[in-house]
Chain A
Amino acid sequence: MKKNTLLALGIASALSLATASAVRAADAHAPQPPRQSWSFSGPLGKFDKAQLQRGLKVYREVCQACHSMNLVAFRTLGQPGALGFTEGQIKTIAGEYQITDGPNDSGEMFQRPGRPSDYFPPIYPNEQAARATHNGALPVDLSVIAKARTYEVGFPGFLIDIVRQYQENGVDYIHALLTGYSEPPAGETLGPGQHWNKFFPGHKIAMTPPLDKDRVEYTDGTPQTVDQYARDVTAFLMWAAEPHLESRKRIGFQVMIFLIVFAGLAYFTKKKVWANAH
C-alpha cells in the first residue's frame, strides 16, 4: 500500500517537474497595460454621462478624422443608459453629418443631412481609399473596438478576475495605447509613417499620436490633458461597444437576488425532504 502511494506520487511529481521546467524555457512579452478605475466596472457599474458626452466630443473632433463607427446609430445616443441626450440634441448631432442616400427618382445617389435613424457614416468610400491615405494602414472601425482588444493575464490573475468580475481589459488597453506614445528607444528605427508605442504589439504603429494637451475644448472645467481625453474617449467607446451595459448589470443584480433567495428556499426544502432519509 505505502509503496504504491509512493509510486503514484513519484509519477505525479516527475510529470509536473518535467512540465514546469519545459514551460519555463518559453515566454517573454510586451508590458501589460496598467489597470484603470472605470465608472462602469463592477456589479453596480454605470456610465458617467458627462464623461460619455466628453468622449463623443473627442471622437468627433479627433478620431473621426480617420475612424468610422458604422454600427452605432445616432438614435442610440439618447437610449436609457446612454449619453443622456434629448431628441432635439440628437437631431442636431445627426444633422451635422452628410449621409449618402438614394437612388432618387432620376437614379442618382444624393447627399442629405443625417437623421436620428442613420448610423455614423463611413469616412472613406472603401478600404482601398482608406489605405491609400494612410501609407497602406487601415484605420479600423471603432464600433466594437472596446471588446475587440485585450491583453493576457497570467496565472492566477485570470482566475481572480472571474471573482472580481474584471472585464475592462479592452478599455485598459485603449487608454494605455492612446497615452503610450514616446520616442523610440536607442537602436530602434521607425519606417515612414510609423510611431513608437509602448503598448502596441510590435511597438511600431501607423496611427499618429492623436491627442495633445488642450486639443479639444471642455466646457465643464474637466482638465484638458492627454490622459483625461484618453479616459473619456475610451469610456465612450465602451458604451459604443456595449450600449446595454447598464441594463445588463441592473437586471443581473435583480436576477442574482432572486436566485440567491430561491437557492435558500431550495436548500431548506431539500433539507426537510431528506430529514428522515439519512
Chain B
Amino acid sequence: MSGPSNFQPKSPILQWTERRLPVLGLMHSSFVAYPTPRNLNYWWTFGGILSFCLAVQIITGIVLAMHYTPTVAGAFKSVEHIMRDVNYGWLLRYVHANGASMFFIAVYIHIFRGLYYGSYKEPREILWILGVIIFLLMMATAFMGYVLPWGQMSFWGATVITNLFSAIPGVGQKIVELLWGGYSVDQPTLQRFFSLHYLLPFMIAGVVVLHVWALHEVGQNNPAGIDVKSDKDTVPFTPYATAKDNFAMVCFMIFFAWFVFYIPNYLGHADNYIPANPLQTPTHIVPEWYFLPFYAILRAIPSKLGGVLAMFGSIALLAFLPWLDRSKIRSARYRPLFRQFFWIFVITCVGLGWLGAKPAEGGYVIASRILTAWYFLHFLVVLPLLSYYERPKPLPASIAESVLGNQPMAPANVKGSS
C-alpha cells in the first residue's frame, strides 16, 4: 500500500523481525503516514465505522455460535436459552441482531456518500466494484442470519426469497432444491444457512482487505472531487483521520447502544418470536428493513422472472455506474443539476423502502411501479444525459484552496508518527 514510510523500529527485536516481515512498516504506511485529503468531512468516517461493525458482528457471532443449535427443533429454544441463561447472552444477541441493522445504516450512508461525491469515477472503478461485491455479500449474510432463530419470519422469509430462484428458466427449480437441500425449507436448509452464515463474514473481511488496498493505491476521493496535487493538500492519517474517525465512531456507538439497550426489538419483527410453523403463513411476509427497497422493486413487476431480474438488476446496475455517469466532474458540489437528481434519487429509495413494508395491493403497487421506473431511469437515462447537458461550476484550483481559501497558511503539523 502506498504512502511514504520510513518506519524504523527502535527495538532490536523489532528491527530483526521487520527485516524479515515488514508488517509493522505496512501498518505504519497504511494507517499512520498514509496521506489523507485535508478537506474530508464526517461522511468519510463511515469506512472506519464499517470495519468496526464487521468486527463486532464477527466477535459476537463467534460467541453466539458456541451456544446456538442449528436444528429445526432446537434453534428457537437455543436462542431463548442464550437470552435467558447464557451470561450476558441477551447482550450478545441484541448487539448481533441490531449490529446487522447498524451495519446496513452505515453502508447505505457510505454508498450514498460515494454517489454524491462521485467516488466511483476514474481511477476508483475497481474500488467501487469491490464495494458492490461487499454489499452483495452483506445482503446474503444478513438474509441467512435472519433465518437462524427459526421464527415465523425466518421461515417464511427464507421460503419467499429462495423461491425467487425458481423463476430462472430451465435450471431454476434445481437451484432452489440445491439451496433447500431437499424439497422444502427444512432442516438441511437451516443447517447449510448456518454454515454459510459463518463463512461469508470472513469472505467479506477478505474483500474488505482488497477494498482498502485499492483505496490506498488510488487514494481517497474528497468533497471537492479533485485530485491531490501537493503535500499541502493532505494531512497524515494519524493523528488527523484517526482523531476524527474516533470521535465519529463513538457517536455511532451511542446511536448503536440506544437501540441495543433501550429498543432492541424495534428493528425486528414481532412475528419472529413465534416459532416457525410451515402450516401457517403470516399475514404479511416482510423482509428486514434494509431489504425493503429491493423487495418493493421485486413486487412492482407483474411477472415473477421480471421482478427477480429487476431486483438483482437494481444492484448489478451499481457496478456499471462508473461507465453510466460520464461526467468528468466528480463532486456533486460542482454539478448543480446532478445534485438535485441525487436528492430525488435518495427520496426514491426511501419511498421504495416504505412501500416495501406495505402490502402489495392497490395504490401501493402503482406507487412502487412509478418509483421503480424512476430508479432505473436515474441510472440509465438521467446520468448519461446529464454528463452531456450539464454545465458544471468552476472547480477550485486545489484541495488546500477549497479548505483554506487563497490566503497563505501555516503548514500542517506533519510529524509522520506519534
Chain B residues 251 to 286 lying within 8 A of chain A, measured CB to CB, are 251, 253-254, 257-258, 260-266, 270-271, 273-274, 283
B218 at the binding interface (Cβ < 8 Å): no
A132 at the binding interface (Cβ < 8 Å): no
Contacts of A9 in B (CB 8 A): 340
Q: Are A252 and B262 closer than 8 Å at their CB atoms?
A: yes
Q: Are A263 and B257 closer than 8 Å at their CB atoms?
A: no
**Cα-based distance from A43 to B262 in the complex (angstroms):** 6
Q: Are B261 and A252 closer than 8 Å at their CB atoms?
A: yes
Q: Are B261 and A8 closer than 8 Å at their CB atoms?
A: no
**Option from B90, B262, B362 in Cβ contact (under 8 Å) with A25:** B362
Contacts of A253 in B (CB 8 A): 261
Report the interface size for chain A: residues with CB under 8 A from the other chain.
63
Size range of the interface on B?
35 or more
Number of A-B contacts (CB under 8 A): 157
Contacts of A166 in B (CB 8 A): 263
| Stretch touching chain B among A48-56, A215-223, A266-274 | A266-274
Contacts of A165 in B (CB 8 A): 258, 262-263
Q: Are B283 and A276 closer than 8 Å at their CB atoms?
A: no
Q: Are B84 and A71 closer than 8 Å at their CB atoms?
A: yes
Mostly helix, strand, loop or mixed at chain B's interface?
helix
**Option from A11, A145, A270 in Cβ contact (under 8 Å) with B243:** A270
Q: Are B270 and A23 closer than 8 Å at their CB atoms?
A: no
| Stretch touching chain A among B160-168, B320-328, B365-373 | B365-373
Subset of 12 A-B contacts with CB under 8 Å = A8-B337, A8-B344, A18-B367, A25-B363, A26-B362, A242-B90, A251-B91, A252-B257, A255-B261, A266-B243, A270-B243, A277-B235
Starting from the known contacts A140-B274, A242-B83, 14 additional A-B residue pairs (CB-CB under 8 Å) come to A9-B340, A12-B347, A15-B344, A23-B355, A73-B84, A144-B80, A148-B271, A252-B261, A255-B261, A262-B250, A269-B246, A270-B246, A273-B240, A277-B38
Binding site for A on B (CB under 8 A): 38, 77, 80, 83-84, 90-91, 94, 235, 239-240, 243-244, 246-247, 250-251, 253-254, 257-258, 260-266, 270-271, 273-274, 283, 336-337, 340-341, 343-344, 347-348, 351, 354-355, 358-359, 361-364, 366-367, 370-371, 374, 390-391, 403-404, 410, 412-413
